[in-house]
Amino acid sequence: MDLKQLKAFETLAEFGSFSRAGAVLSVAQPVLSRQIKALEQELGIELFHRNGRGIVLTEAGRLLHSYASGVLDTVRRATTEVIALRSSPRGTIAIGMPPSVGSVLTVPLVQHFRSEFPLIAMRVVEGFSGHLLEWLITGKIDVAVLYNAPRTSNLRAEPLVQEEISLLGPVDDRMGLAAGPVPASRLAEIPMILPSRPHGLRIVLDALLGKAQIVPRIELEVNAMPSTLRLVESGMGYTLLSYGPARSLVEAGRLRSWSIVDPVLTRQLILATSSQRPTTTATRALALMVRQQIHDLVRRGLWASGARTTIP
């Protein structure tokens, strides 16, 4: 029994005539007759009474019709909804990102995504890169934007941005730093407020500075970016962070910013999805929107100082 047989059976039951049903289905009457006969032979029972006035359903036919109508209705609805996805994606999607990324990306991403894909319910969560990776693997989120993701077989990872890490400090600058770039070696003297391990930024900094044999002077460990920026603004120390999250504070004259040289400190932002789960239309739509919005933010100079997009 297949959908073509069920459709033929339903149409014949509706019109009560082989000739009329054949015309509706655009099939010859003998072809339709053979389809119904094959269905009756498969079930081992007659589905129609044939008489001079036409045909009517038997008791078995009425029972089959009650099921066939439901099956065919379900197939029609499924077909309609799948076709609709081509022009109007729908579903539910969850994305995760670090707070430093969210402070720059979340508002334009949500605004544009909700405008373009109003039928997709969206959830945004923030967390450290290590937590985001775990949530992605376990299925708690569908898309992750994170730093320096490991190369593993259960991830699809796409580089988005190579960005510089800046030195941020209080306006009074009690260390008396020059206006130009600051050598990384001076981080051994400057009182730093940094996140603790396993924060993704701390792991990156430890690796970069360790390679240059520089041990930063860490006076305070804080794992919350807003609190870190408030402490820096109050004069408690300096921090290392991408320029984007602090841009408004720097432009408002509440913080100062310096680039780091010898070596330049950089980290890579990654767009990641799970290779263990099928990629839905909603996931593809969101991943595309992330790429578009980050490209636009970098182009407009609203991301990190010295950021270079790796998006084609």
Q: Is 242 exposed, middle or buried (0-12, 13-18, 19+ CB in 10 A)?
A: buried
One-letter amino acid identity for 3?
Answer: L
Q: How far is CA 217 from CA 101, 175, 209, 248, in A?
A: 25, 13, 12, 27
pLDDT in tens, 94-137: 999 998 899 899 999 999 999 988 888 999 999 888 889 999 99
Q: Residues 183-220, buried b or exposed e (16+ Cβ, 10 A)?
A: ebebbeebebbbbeeebbbbbbbeebbeeeebebeeee
DSSP string computed for 55-105: EEE-HHHHHHHHHHHHHHHHHHHHHHHHHHHTTS--EEEEEEE-HHHHHHH
pTM recorded for the entire structure = 0.65
Share of the chain above pLDDT 90, in %: 47
pLDDT in tens, 176-223: 998 889 999 999 999 999 999 878 888 889 999 999 999 999 999 999
pLDDT of residue 240: 96
Residue with tokens 């430890």: 206
Q: How far apart are CA 258 and CA 170, in angstroms?
A: 11
Going by their DSSP bridges, the two strands 255-261 and 182-183 should be labelled as: parallel
pLDDT in tens, 230-258: 999 999 999 999 888 888 899 999 999 99
Write down all domains in the chain, each with its CATH number in brackets.
Answer: 3-85 (1.10.10.10), 91-158+269-302 (3.40.190.10), 162-266 (3.40.190.290)
Extended beta strands in the chain, E state: 48-51, 54-57, 91-97, 120-126, 143-147, 155-170, 182-183, 192-194, 218-221, 239-242, 255-261, 266-274, 308-309
pLDDT of residue 24: 87
pLDDT of residue 197: 84
Q: Pick the closest to residue 270 from 132, 81, 117, 68 (CA basis).
A: 132
Counts of helices then strands in the chain (DSSP H, E): 10, 13
Residue with tokens 């182009």: 299
Instruction: Using alpha carbons only, give the angle 85, 89, 95 rounded to the nearest 5 degrees.
Output: 145
DSSP string computed for 281-306: HHHHHHHHHHHHHHHHHHHTT-S-TT
97 CB-side CA count, 13 A: 20
pLDDT in tens, 30-68: 998 898 899 889 999 999 988 777 788 999 989 999 888
pLDDT of residue 78: 75
* Banded pLDDT at 87 (limits 50, 70, 90): low
Instruction: Give the chain's mean pLDDT.
Output: 88
